[in-house]
Structure 1
Amino acid sequence: MRFKRITLAPTMRKYNRKNLMRDVIAGMIIMAVSIPISMGYAQIAGLPAVYGLYGSVFPIILFAVFSTSPQFIFGVDAAPAALIGSALLGMGIEGGSKEALEVVPVLTFFVAVWLLAFYLMHAGKLVNYISAPVMGGFISGICMTIILMQVPKLLGGTAGTGELPELLEHIQETAGRINFPSLMLGLISLAILLTVKKVAPKFPMAVVLMAAGAVLTVVLPMEEWGIRTLESVKPGLPQWKIPDLALLPLNQVITVSLSVAVVIMAETLLAENNFAQKNGYRINDDQELLAFAAGNLVAALTGCCPINGSVSRTAMGEQYQGKTQLMSIVAGASMLILLVCGTGFIGYLPVPVLTAIVISALLGATEFKLAAKLWKVSRTECLIFWGAFVGVLLLGTINGVLIGIILSFSEMVIRSSKPARCFVGIQPGHRHFRDLAEGSQIHAVEGVLVYRFSSNLFFANVNILQQDIEAELEKKKGTKAVILDASGIGSIDITAADRLAILYEALKEQGIRFYITEHIADLNEQMRKLGLGYLISEGCVRRTIHIALKDMGINRPYPLEGGVDNEERSASRKRVDNRVQEFVWAFGSESETEIEKQILRQIEQLKKSGDVENLLHGSWSHMEAMDEDEWLEHLEEHLKEIVNISGKDEKTLAARLEEHRREVHDRIAKEHPELAERFRERRHHLDQHLKERRPEVYELVISLREKERK
């Protein structure tokens, strides 16, 4: 097996000292936020609360040494803790007991072994098959789950566990004995955090609130009001010890540790990639797995539960603009100092204030803006987002990811089964084939169907190809050949190959020739392996559409349907670079709006330069006649504005525009007389449009035309 070279502390190499203060502040805040989170999750995992603080020292420092993510934070987190706690209950082991203290490190050790195995197997590549909607729904689901876990703490209760039904039930129970001073303190803290985040996002408000909370605990009767503070912790560092690997049956250990390792890999890699995409950097998925393994190995040796990537702490670091893994090192070192000589401070921190800090960070990490964007552009991908979101809330982390992946692959199959395809033809005087639906100036080659199919051809979409061609043949009797433009086809499966063979035989019986063209060379090899080699040997597979037509005896200029003249352009004749058509291609139904924006930008430029000649000539030099006429019509709508800016006479400018339009008419009558009538119809349509939009300009234009006739 070949591995990429491992780089130690990659995010801190060539360190920029400008980031030092940000990283230190972010690290201190992450340490403080980790106190309540880590202590709570350690208890969920069946360990004393102090072990959560132990898991926030050496594991996150070692993770920082290996991680290629400049901002992601490791620590004791919800999903692995819940799985370990559930496993202990299944084994009949009481949480917090001496047996639990011995069993949990064994499970953590095997989790580290599995993560190391995933690294050796390059399992990190699996994240490449998970789409952005899945990632967004997954992250939002985790954030919302943790928020719902924290809500009871605002109400004066304890953190919730489980999935959405259990969380809502716990919130309802806590609401029945709500502590209003606790709720008010938490809501005020949350409101302050959210306001400051908008007004001054760089200000470390979380630190100020924690300090203020500790002061309030000293000066106010918090205990009498029922406002909880964190439990006091005895000072001291964790003891290093090799777990007793023979303590549990191997099959039981493997089952539990594998499920936890999979959750850590999926949840953390997904979250890391989500933050990476959002902030414009890349991570090495394989080295991240090694970092996970290293962090969990140290956790096992210090008696902790499995360690996971933390979205809440990462969101906090992002909020306070931490730039490298120095944040993690500062957080770990700060926790170390706290454990040695500052544990007394922990007992003064009000739980509602710390809960508000966590919720504020999580709200900033949600991806609901992505959901709103997806709703506008792709309802299917929006459904995938909400599928992953609801899956995480209802069924847990790993099941939510699986639901999202299944939805992604389903969407991919559905999309591939409805590929982009069209029949193509030629514009008079041009050589390239274009979609017939682009406009009435594109005409099919007489007696030939040229069909472009833009997707890999497989069992789910080959029926569409066959139906499209057969339906078009029904409409166009006397067709001599069908040419498949396979430029968008990269592969064919056996079902599609069988259907192509059937189509070929059916066309042959009708005396219609069949060609496959424009594809990559590898497709020919695939066809030979699938039993379609005879199409190649019989000359039905040609490199280009032009060669296929030549094989039929049809040479340039190609005869077009309807008897449209298709005079071949000489090499010296100017080729078209049609800007208006480029707008139609790029912006679709918004093309007219974009044309208007372009003209407004030209008018803004006119205000600076005062050069009317540039305005009148700059946009027309590479346009075809019909499109140039439409551009002029848009300029006429802004005639009064141009007059006001330039100081030119209105009638003179109007006459200039009309002169250009007359030149356009003469040019099209000369180059394409068959289109002259259509041009006159289009001119009438544009005039009516001008009359509706700018009646005063329309009257001026009509009066100028009447003068010209006289």
Structure 2
Amino acid sequence: MARLARLAPGVPALLRYRFAADFRHDLVAGISVAAVALPVAVAYAELAGFDPVVGLYSCILPLVAYALFGTSRQLMVNPDAATCAMIAAAITPLAAGDPALYGSLAILLTFFTGLFCIAASFLRLGALADFLSKPILVGFLNGVAISILLGQIGKLFGFAIESGRIIPRLLEFIAKLPQTHGPTLAVGLGSFAVLLLARRFLPRWPAALITLVVAGIAVAVLKLDGQGVAVLGAVPAGLPLPRWPTVSLEHLPALLASAAGLALVLFSSGVLTARSFAAKNRYEIDVDREFAAFGAANIAAALSQGFAVTGAASRTAMADSAGGRTQVTGLVAAATIATVLLFLTGPLRYVPIAALGVVLVFAAFSLFDIRALRDIWKIDRREVGLSVLTMLGVVAVGAINAILIAVALALVRFVKLTARPRDEVLGQVDGLPGFHSVERHPGARTFSGLALYRFDGPITFFNAAYFKQRALAVADAAGPELQWFVIDAIPISHIDVTGLYVLRDLREALEERGITLILAGRKTELLNWLQEIGLYRSEHKEHIFPTLRQALKAYRRETRPADAPPDEE
């Protein structure tokens, strides 16, 4: 069982399933998830450039795969607006208008994405979930929201927008406004009204499903399809049959590059959702196993002729609010969608494209997170600039290329924070225990002849010279009476070979000025490390103290006149 839990964490949970206690809750939640997933999957298939039925294919096996391999009890794995936009951006140029090639490229892209996720799990790269910072992820999703909005708005007015970039799309939309088709615009505005009213007065009902049902009934009764209103048309019944895609080898490099970016984004976005609901329900998820679970779900999507999937926030929220307790909720949702595919595809033919556009426009509004930008602004305005820069990258160069921009920005941010960490001189503040930054506390008292210095980061090859420069600058500012230079070792998480040489050079430079270098904190750890690498000397023990306070006491004992009273501290 332990071996099985390592491979497929969901299986032991299913074997221990409390049918009597949990099934009725999971049954209701699963049907509710399916009610939301059905219209959204059809709309997202339209967004990604597929037949509507492909969106439904992408909802069934991925839910089953995640139930077996995932570690979240609530997460629903389904098509997502951001991943659909990225899929379309990646394969549209490669397909060159060939529908069969487009489908094959999407299947291979999804399959490679799954393989990348599984490989990342074996390499224990779950920490990549933290690599795209919150501001960068918010900016990326905001850019995708703008892209979706401008990509769908033409459907509400009854004309196609063919431009591939966001600014050209906007210009084309403005130019084509005189071509607006009146009945289509009426259907679009009516769908907006129904969606708003459903969300306002029926908050527990799936508003997207209500909108598409009402719009489909209006088309069927008023025969609006005969007046030029575009509809989905016939949706083939039945479950998908596996087929191997046919793709030229020349497309593989581009597919692999896009799959790597897609894997990073869908995992980061999906794990963010999984962590949020795990925190709400007070349990933990395993991010490395989540990587494998997302990989299995995407391979399942490829095998069922679908496209890439991730943790879907709206469907996960529905599962949670409807009382779902376990991943059986996902299995019930998958069974419900499969039932619709087998027996209830007929009514889908009347759903108007304009109503699907309305659903996607609302999805775009939900992706655009103004509140997060406001919160980030209150904390750090520079991070807002990073977020806006990522958003503009999506707007300017598209979602796939924006991934490279986002990763580059994340690298620049990481290098900046690590190579130039915050440092500070410490002193004592009346009424506050411990030692505090004299910059943040202007009334802090420093110590004659002694400097307490904190460097908030590791000392490694890329910041060692900066550390030495800053430490010597603090020593110079302390004046000629400085006798002890004490470094707080607690925040220094790592010292590599370059850092060790720089510490030696700093000690020698200080000794030339008659100053003793002292380390405070991590005494046992530092002494053991020096012994392990063969550099321990007996005087090291005299220059390393367990805490800053003990270093301060030792300095006062050493410099106190012989007839002075004992130090009360």
CA distance in 2, matches of 1:95, 1:396: 21
Letter in 1 for 2:568: E
* Alpha-carbon distance, 1:515 to partner: 1.8
CA distance in 2, matches of 1:102, 1:264: 17
* Alpha-carbon distance, 1:421 to partner: 1.4
Letter in 2 for 1:231: G
Q: Using the TM superposition, name which of 317-326 and 125-134 deviates more.
A: 317-326
Q: Using the TM superposition, name which of 530-539 and 401-410 deviates more.
A: 530-539
Aligned residue for 1:568, secondary structure, equals coil
Letter in 2 for 1:262: A
2:492 maps to which residue?
A: 489
Matching residue within 123, 126, 129 for 2:128:
126
**2:516 is the counterpart of 1:513:** yes
CA distance in 2, matches of 1:152, 1:319: 34
Aligned residue for 1:488, secondary structure, equals coil
Aligned residue for 1:450, secondary structure, equals strand
Q: Indicate if the aligned counterparts of 1:154 and 1:183 stay in contact, CA closer than 8 A.
A: yes
1:577 maps to which residue?
A: none
1:646 maps to which residue?
A: none
Aligned residue for 1:231, secondary structure, equals coil
Note the alpha carbon deviations across 1:525-568, whole angstroms, 9 max, x for none. 66689998569548433444455456557269x79xxxx99973
Aligned residue for 2:30, secondary structure, equals helix
2:471 maps to which residue?
A: 466
User: Structure 1 pair 309/169, CA: closer, same or farther in 2 (3 Å)?
Assistant: farther
* Alpha-carbon distance, 1:152 to partner: 1.6
CA distance in 1, matches of 2:165, 2:13: 35
* Alpha-carbon distance, 1:160 to partner: 6.1
**2:263 is the counterpart of 1:265:** yes
Q: What are structure 1's unaligned runs of at least 5 residues?
A: 570-710
1:285 maps to which residue?
A: 287
Aligned residue for 1:38, secondary structure, equals helix
Letter in 1 for 2:309: N
Q: Indicate if the aligned counterparts of 2:377 and 2:384 stay in contact, CA closer than 8 A.
A: yes
Structural mapping, 1:174-189, within 5 Å: 174-189=176-191
1:17 maps to which residue?
A: 24
Q: Indicate if the aligned counterparts of 1:484 and 1:516 stay in contact, CA closer than 8 A.
A: yes
2:253 maps to which residue?
A: 255
User: Structure 1 pair 278/153, CA: closer, same or farther in 2 (3 Å)?
Assistant: farther
2:394 maps to which residue?
A: 392
2:405 maps to which residue?
A: 403
Note the alpha carbon deviations across 1:227-260, whole angstroms, 9 max, x for none. 322122243443344x27xx656x5464244234
**2:351 is the counterpart of 1:349:** yes
User: Structure 1 pair 18/431, CA: closer, same or farther in 2 (3 Å)?
Assistant: closer
User: Structure 1 pair 149/505, CA: closer, same or farther in 2 (3 Å)?
Assistant: same
CA distance in 1, matches of 2:378, 2:217: 48
Note the alpha carbon deviations across 1:435-479, whole angstroms, 9 max, x for none. 5568788543443233333333345441553254234233xx433
User: Structure 1 pair 148/522, CA: closer, same or farther in 2 (3 Å)?
Assistant: farther
CA distance in 2, matches of 1:407, 1:536: 45
User: Structure 1 pair 96/533, CA: closer, same or farther in 2 (3 Å)?
Assistant: same
User: Structure 1 pair 180/61, CA: closer, same or farther in 2 (3 Å)?
Assistant: farther
CA distance in 2, matches of 1:426, 1:340: 73
Note the alpha carbon deviations across 1:499-529, whole angstroms, 9 max, x for none. 4444433332332333222235444566689
Provide TM-score, normalisation by structure 2.
Answer: 0.80
CA distance in 2, matches of 1:72, 1:109: 19
User: Structure 1 pair 200/525, CA: closer, same or farther in 2 (3 Å)?
Assistant: farther
Matching residue within 205, 208, 229 for 1:206:
208
1:79 maps to which residue?
A: 86
2:232 maps to which residue?
A: 230
Letter in 2 for 1:153: K
Matching residue within 133, 139, 142 for 2:141:
139
Letter in 1 for 2:507: Y
* Alpha-carbon distance, 1:269 to partner: 0.9
Q: Indicate if the aligned counterparts of 1:374 and 1:382 stay in contact, CA closer than 8 A.
A: yes
Aligned residue for 2:346, secondary structure, equals helix
Aligned residue for 1:71, secondary structure, equals coil
Q: Indicate if the aligned counterparts of 1:268 and 1:309 stay in contact, CA closer than 8 A.
A: yes
Note the alpha carbon deviations across 1:632-669, whole angstroms, 9 max, x for none. xxxxxxxxxxxxxxxxxxxxxxxxxxxxxxxxxxxxxx
* Alpha-carbon distance, 1:275 to partner: 1.7
2:335 maps to which residue?
A: 333
Structural mapping, 1:441-590, within 5 Å: 443-458=445-460, 459-460=462-463, 461-463=466-468, 465-474=470-479, 477-524=480-527, 536-537=539-540, 539-545=542-548, 548=551, 554=557, 568=568
Q: Indicate if the aligned counterparts of 2:47 and 2:85 stay in contact, CA closer than 8 A.
A: no
CA distance in 2, matches of 1:394, 1:318: 36
Matching residue within 375, 379, 382 for 1:380:
382
1:604 maps to which residue?
A: none
Q: Indicate if the aligned counterparts of 2:42 and 2:52 stay in contact, CA closer than 8 A.
A: no
2:173 maps to which residue?
A: 171
2:310 maps to which residue?
A: 309
Aligned residue for 1:149, secondary structure, equals helix
Specify which structure has the bigger relative contact order, considering alpha-carbon pairs within 8 angstroms and separated by 6 or more residues.
2
Aligned residue for 2:213, secondary structure, equals helix
Q: What are structure 2's unaligned runs of at least 5 residues?
A: none
User: Structure 1 pair 352/520, CA: closer, same or farther in 2 (3 Å)?
Assistant: farther
CA RMSD of aligned residues (A): 4.1
Q: Indicate if the aligned counterparts of 2:231 and 2:349 stay in contact, CA closer than 8 A.
A: yes
* Alpha-carbon distance, 1:50 to partner: 4.3
Q: Indicate if the aligned counterparts of 2:451 and 2:475 stay in contact, CA closer than 8 A.
A: no
* Alpha-carbon distance, 1:419 to partner: 0.9
Note the alpha carbon deviations across 1:603-645, whole angstroms, 9 max, x for none. xxxxxxxxxxxxxxxxxxxxxxxxxxxxxxxxxxxxxxxxxxx
Q: Indicate if the aligned counterparts of 1:490 and 1:520 stay in contact, CA closer than 8 A.
A: no
Letter in 1 for 2:32: I
Aligned residue for 2:10, secondary structure, equals coil
CA distance in 2, matches of 1:36, 1:372: 30
CA distance in 2, matches of 1:293, 1:440: 53
Aligned residue for 1:4, secondary structure, equals helix
1:683 maps to which residue?
A: none
1:619 maps to which residue?
A: none
User: Structure 1 pair 41/26, CA: closer, same or farther in 2 (3 Å)?
Assistant: same
Q: Indicate if the aligned counterparts of 1:85 and 1:95 stay in contact, CA closer than 8 A.
A: no
* Alpha-carbon distance, 1:86 to partner: 3.1
User: Structure 1 pair 525/389, CA: closer, same or farther in 2 (3 Å)?
Assistant: farther
Note the alpha carbon deviations across 1:64-106, whole angstroms, 9 max, x for none. 44333423332483323443343333xxxx6235x76677656
Note the alpha carbon deviations across 1:478-505, whole angstroms, 9 max, x for none. 3333222333222234555444444433
Q: Indicate if the aligned counterparts of 1:233 and 1:344 stay in contact, CA closer than 8 A.
A: yes
2:369 maps to which residue?
A: 367
CA distance in 2, matches of 1:501, 1:101: 62
User: Structure 1 pair 197/40, CA: closer, same or farther in 2 (3 Å)?
Assistant: closer
1:32 maps to which residue?
A: 39
Q: Using the TM superposition, name which of 343-352 and 72-81 deviates more.
A: 72-81
1:96 maps to which residue?
A: 99
Letter in 2 for 1:86: P
User: Structure 1 pair 166/117, CA: closer, same or farther in 2 (3 Å)?
Assistant: farther
Letter in 1 for 2:475: E
Provide TM-score, normalisation by structure 1.
Answer: 0.66
* Alpha-carbon distance, 1:373 to partner: 0.7
User: Structure 1 pair 495/38, CA: closer, same or farther in 2 (3 Å)?
Assistant: same
Aligned residue for 1:354, secondary structure, equals helix
CA distance in 2, matches of 1:202, 1:53: 23
Q: How many residues align?
A: 546
CA distance in 2, matches of 1:169, 1:180: 21
Q: Using the TM superposition, name which of 18-27 and 188-197 deviates more.
A: 188-197
Letter in 2 for 1:266: L
Aligned residue for 2:486, secondary structure, equals strand
Larger radius of gyration: 1
User: Structure 1 pair 437/502, CA: closer, same or farther in 2 (3 Å)?
Assistant: same
User: Structure 1 pair 463/165, CA: closer, same or farther in 2 (3 Å)?
Assistant: farther
1:423 maps to which residue?
A: 426
Q: Using the TM superposition, name which of 367-376 and 318-327 deviates more.
A: 318-327
CA distance in 2, matches of 1:10, 1:39: 37
User: Structure 1 pair 224/122, CA: closer, same or farther in 2 (3 Å)?
Assistant: same
CA distance in 2, matches of 1:209, 1:314: 17
